[in-house]
Structure 1
């Protein structure tokens, strides 16, 4: 898995220069592709009016060029089967062909819909982010995926993953014990609900020039992302 230095969320917000643009969820365009299965939430959420902050706030550090023409926002759950499918089948191709080329940057947002260990894993990733290793830890979680609610993402293992990533363990443990990112994760979940999401993974492809937004639902193949990226880059 390729890694690109992660940058702060403030950089892309300033780079995009989004002011008072407000999008209704009905204005977002989706892909014509048949959906590949995704992890579903039992409760259907009614869409509401949203702003650009709904996409960019309460998120991970940026992966890639903060001034890229396109931002890919992923809502995911580390325990989600189809999020793991996307990670192994599609994500690395996007990084190699678009992120490493400086054309696309990526933001990950939590939608912890499966169980308590989803929150444990998400919180640990943000604590790793304090030490500049959010994306390394993110990758470690998916590379150790072992089913939904099987215990692999529990407290004992997230500590081991931190050790594997050579984190300062005192800082990491303090961060976890203080539940420092509990509100950020809860707010990210609220953002997902505001966007009317009913499952993971869910993606929003945002053109930083035109502020056009397109949706991709489920673990779609690379070609679906490629077609949308290229259409936005050509405009």
Structure 2
């Protein structure tokens, strides 16, 4: 019997292959009939696909529509709270595309916009339990790390260690999360008590409900803007250039 996680991975791969072949049928078929497709080839194709999706999303934005307000709630923020532009991410720690954004795009946003005081970045939880069994425990663990002032450090470690913890379940999963807390120097008794009690379950449920109210159906989903200008939504692990165009356009206002 195929495990649920394995079946999901197969579906994701199939969707990616179909999508890429739809956009790049000529070159993709040529590669299939000649040489093996390398990981580099696939990454390049996915990046081009994401760029096309990003351009399509931006072309559908109507500049004269009334501003849409998106709440940052009381969720963790990276950067200057008074920055003119806010990026709100709804994310699932077990989502491969969320990890892709974390690895490839977030560092460039940090370097060019967050560290320069132009943008702040808010993380909101959107664990999709129907396909990611460990996403909710990962969100709970990270919220518990936030209790001790280590949200972003734990957030980074969760994404960095994703290939390990996503394969674990039950008590072993909690022990794995405990080890990350040890590495970060957290008070382990407090961390474990927080995690085992499900202290932040209601907070995560609120993030989920808010996301649904804003039309979020998958992760990652981003809202870029402020209350005056409204927010532009970007869907998926889009390349830095997609964010750059939206942010620079808003900064010119």
Query: TM-score per shorter chain, which class?
Result: 0.7 to 0.9
Alignment of 1:7-46 (within 5 A): 34-35=52-53
Match of 1:55 among 68, 71, 75: 71
How far apart are residue 51 of structure 1 and its match? 7.4
Partner SS, residue 193 of structure 2: helix
Q: Greater share of helix residues, 1 or 2?
A: 2
- C-alpha spacing 1:129/1:190, structure 2 compared with 1 (3 Å): same
Deviations 1:76-124 (A, max 9, x none): 0000000011110000110111101011001101111033311100001
Match of residue 241 from structure 2: 223
**Structure 2 unaligned residues grouped into runs of 5+:** 1-49, 55-66
Match of residue 121 from structure 1: 138
Partner SS, residue 53 of structure 2: coil
Quick check: 1:79–1:148 contact (8 Å CA) kept in 2?
no
State yes or no: 1:135 paired with 2:152.
Answer: yes
Q: CA RMSD in A?
A: 2.3
State yes or no: 1:161 paired with 2:180.
Answer: yes
Q: Greater share of strand residues, 1 or 2?
A: 1
Match of residue 226 from structure 2: 207
Question: Mean Cα displacement is larger for which, 168-177 or 139-148?
Answer: 139-148
Q: Distance in 1 between the 2:211 and 2:92 partners? A: 12
TM-score by length of 1: 0.74
Quick check: 2:68–2:230 contact (8 Å CA) kept in 1?
no
Q: Distance in 2 between the 1:147 and 1:189 partners? A: 25
- C-alpha spacing 1:160/1:81, structure 2 compared with 1 (3 Å): same
Q: Distance in 2 between the 1:171 and 1:148 partners? A: 21
- C-alpha spacing 1:167/1:149, structure 2 compared with 1 (3 Å): closer
Match of 2:112 among 82, 88, 97: 97
Quick check: 2:51–2:239 contact (8 Å CA) kept in 1?
no
Deviations 1:18-62 (A, max 9, x none): xxxxxxxxxxxxxx95327xxxxxxxxxxxxx974x5312x5321
Partner SS, residue 78 of structure 1: coil
Aligned residues: 188
Match of residue 10 from structure 1: none
How far apart are residue 178 of structure 1 and its match? 1.8
Q: Distance in 1 between the 2:119 and 2:76 partners? A: 14
**Structure with max Cα Rg:** 2
Alignment of 1:107-118 (within 5 A): 107-113=122-128, 114-118=131-135
Match of 2:103 among 88, 109, 113: 88
Q: Distance in 1 between the 2:173 and 2:124 partners? A: 20
Match of residue 83 from structure 2: 68
Q: Which has the higher contact order (CA 8 A, sep 6+)?
A: 1
Q: Distance in 2 between the 1:196 and 1:35 partners? A: 17
How far apart are residue 147 of structure 1 and its match? 7.7
